[in-house]
Amino acid sequence: MSKQVYNFGAGPAMLPVPVMEQIRDEFLDFQGLGVSIVEVSHRAKQFEQVLLAAQERFRQLTGLPDNYKILFVHGGARMQFAALPLNLASLSPTKKCLYVETGNFAKLANKDAKAFGDIQVIASGADTNYDRIPTIDPGMIDQDAAYLHITTNNTIYGSRYNSFPDAGKVPLIADQTSEILSRVIDYSKFGCVYAGLQKNLGPAGTALVVIREDLLGHAVAETPTLLNYEVCAKDNSLTNTANTFAIYVTGLVLEWLQQQGGVAAIEKLNEQKAKVLYDLIDGTDYFRGVILPEFRGIMNVSFNLPSAELEAKFLKEAGEVGLYALKGHRSVGGIRASIYNAMPLAGVEALAAFMREFEQNNG
């Protein structure tokens, strides 16, 4: 590599360098087979080992209870927006499904579900430009509902739930795409947690779904085979040709995370990284964070400069010094630093130094 580049892209996002080096080193010859991992059958015993090891590592990292299945499913996170009501809406006699709208993806989640259930948005942060997470009182949760869906970390804005709603007997479903394995969570509080792989796990286009066993077997008859979680669990994610490469990379990322000390250790580091940026933002009026301090997450730090012109200059000059993909989401503009698990502290410090210098030169 000619110069050090730090990738702050929101997803596909940076992978740990040792993982990419291992992929490179064994790409042409997987485990002495003389063929690449992308050429090995998904039914081969060598691939089955890769899949089982990835699932086992996820279980070890999360302390996932035994009554939860781990699935790898096609179509990334967004495909699950439709798969969820197809699999779960019939848990309610009226197919009532509850959603909390805390950002763009939370909104898309209920939009894509509308064809398959009676979708009700019980709270929304739209009125305040999603700068906070609305309070969910237990009284707001109809106990006849099939499930309550939340987006635990809002990738575009950078807000997150610090504590999760108590949904009573209603299964709590969480889109954790932009924060899975970045902080310790108690999976037993959730009926289902899912995430596109492309931020903290691996390549895009596939999602990891964790689902409690009693929630399997309720899919409506029209559910396409590949969106049916029960079928996927029965076939251990091998109903059709799986995305073998994505699962292989995820296994390596999970192994890397174990070597870093696991989720609690990476959470501490993630907090330290986010603090570097938020301390800087809080110490000046030049940079303005978009999220109220008590709802700030530790994965996506979104902020503005005094003008759109200065933001364009910031992005151009940042790119020139190897600070890559800091542009905010096309729907909101501004700057966004995505600092997922694989981002080293040094990358965040390099960004902070650049921000200080930019303010000095342009303030």
Name the minimum Å distance from CB 222 to ligand PLP.
Answer: 22
Contact in structure between 274 and 301 (CB atoms under 8 Å): yes
In the range 203-232, which residues lie near ligand PLP by CB under 6 A?
A: 204
Out of 78, 107, 189, 212, which residue is the one contacting ligand PLP (CB under 6 A)?
78
Establish if 161 lies at the interface with ligand PLP (CB under 6 A). no
Count Cβ atoms below 10 Å from residue 140 Cβ, excluding itself: 15
Contact in structure between 246 and 196 (CB atoms under 8 Å): no
Count of residues near ligand PLP by CB under 6 A: 12
Part in contact with ligand PLP (CB under 6 A); list of ranges 44-52, 58-66, 76-84, 214-222: 76-84
Core vs surface per residue 282-296: b (16+ CB within 10 A) or e: eeeebbebbbeeebb
Establish if 77 lies at the interface with ligand PLP (CB under 6 A). yes
Part in contact with ligand PLP (CB under 6 A); list of ranges 43-51, 172-180, 256-264, 351-359: 172-180
Residue nearest to ligand PLP according to CB distances in the complex = 76
Out of 177, 270, 302, 341, which residue is the one contacting ligand PLP (CB under 6 A)?
177
Sign of CA dihedral 16, 76, 110, 61: negative
Query: 227 or 280: whose CB is closer to ligand PLP?
Result: 227
Distance CA 297, CA 292 (A): 10
Query: 274 or 280: whose CB is closer to ligand PLP?
Result: 274
Query: 205 or 262: whose CB is closer to ligand PLP?
Result: 205
Contact in structure between 358 and 314 (CB atoms under 8 Å): yes
Query: 197 or 348: whose CB is closer to ligand PLP?
Result: 197
Contact in structure between 80 and 73 (CB atoms under 8 Å): yes
Distance CA 194, CA 177 (A): 7
Part in contact with ligand PLP (CB under 6 A); list of ranges 45-53, 70-78, 226-234, 253-261: 70-78
Name the minimum Å distance from CB 30 to ligand PLP.
Answer: 26
Query: 62 or 177: whose CB is closer to ligand PLP?
Result: 177
Out of 117, 196, 297, 347, which residue is the one contacting ligand PLP (CB under 6 A)?
196
| Rounded alpha-carbon distances, angstroms, from residue 125 to 128, 131, 134, 324 | 6, 7, 6, 30
Find, among 95, 75, 96, the residue nearest to 224 by Cα.
75
Establish if 92 lies at the interface with ligand PLP (CB under 6 A). no
Query: 40 or 83: whose CB is closer to ligand PLP?
Result: 83
Establish if 110 lies at the interface with ligand PLP (CB under 6 A). no
Q: Which residues pair with 209 in a beta bridge?
A: 71, 194
Query: How many residues appear in the chain?
Result: 363
Establish if 105 lies at the interface with ligand PLP (CB under 6 A). yes
Establish if 175 lies at the interface with ligand PLP (CB under 6 A). yes
Helix (H, G, I), strand (E, B) or coil at 159: strand
Query: 92 or 206: whose CB is closer to ligand PLP?
Result: 206
Distance CA 233, CA 335 (A): 40
Q: What is the DSSP string of 149-186?
A: EEESEETTTTEE-SS----TTSPEEEE-TTTTTSS---
Establish if 155 lies at the interface with ligand PLP (CB under 6 A). yes
Distance CA 37, CA 247 (A): 10
Part in contact with ligand PLP (CB under 6 A); list of ranges 75-83, 85-93, 288-296, 341-349: 75-83
Distance CA 23, CA 256 (A): 13
Residues in contact with ligand PLP by the rule CB under 6 A: 11, 76-78, 105, 151, 155, 175, 177-178, 196, 204
